[in-house]
Amino acid sequence: MEVFDTIARLIDLRSFSNLWYWIALAAVWSSASHWVLGVPWDMVIRARRKGGEAAEDLAAMTALNARRLNRIRRDAGFSMSITIPFMLSFLLITGFIYGSETAQAFALLLVPMMGVFGLSLRLAHKLDADPALAHDPTLAIKALSRHRVNVQAIGVVAIIVSALWGMYQNLLASMLV
């Protein structure tokens, strides 16, 4: 029986003590910071450094992704405005009122990402409303750079809050054992 207890302690399936949760958290925020409004960040850097065709490609891709996000908002906006708050409130209530650690982990991951999604929709609307903004490479670079800084700020706060909450949960669990 002692072997099974040792194995059960080593394979802890709680979310905040699981390495895969922290890897997923890092991957999600790294990806969100790299793909700014659907445009890869290396493309922004290349357009800033080289200009010319790289800048034109960036402006075209920025305008295309802005239109794509606005089309998604127009086509599925009503259903998203119902589904997303329901899903998030379900996770928040299940996690923080009923104590499900898995729901807490998903909430700490998804709530800030929905903030990033809202910022992306706002930028897409701004770019679509002012075609000069999306089609001028220097203005597009500035807009995407500001958006990336906002995404990174949200990511830093989300990672810190997740780490603090995860440490609290792990300390609480270790005191109960």
pLDDT value, residue 13: 55
Residue 136 — φ and ψ, nearest 5°?
Answer: -90, 115
The stretches in the chain having pLDDT less than 50 are none
User: Contact, 104 vs 7, CB < 8 A?
Assistant: no
Q: Give the alpha-carbon dihedral of 84, 87, 92, 95, to 10 degrees.
A: -150
Q: Which residues pair with 35 in a beta bridge?
A: 40
Q: pTM of this prediction?
A: 0.85
pLDDT value, residue 43: 95
pLDDT value, residue 177: 61
| Cβ contacts of 80 within 8 Å, gap of 6 or more | 73
- According to DSSP, residue 93 is labeled I
Q: Give the alpha-carbon dihedral of 159, 160, 161, 164, to 10 degrees.
A: 120
Could you identify the residue written with the tokens 């670079």?
141
User: Contact, 58 vs 43, CB < 8 A?
Assistant: yes
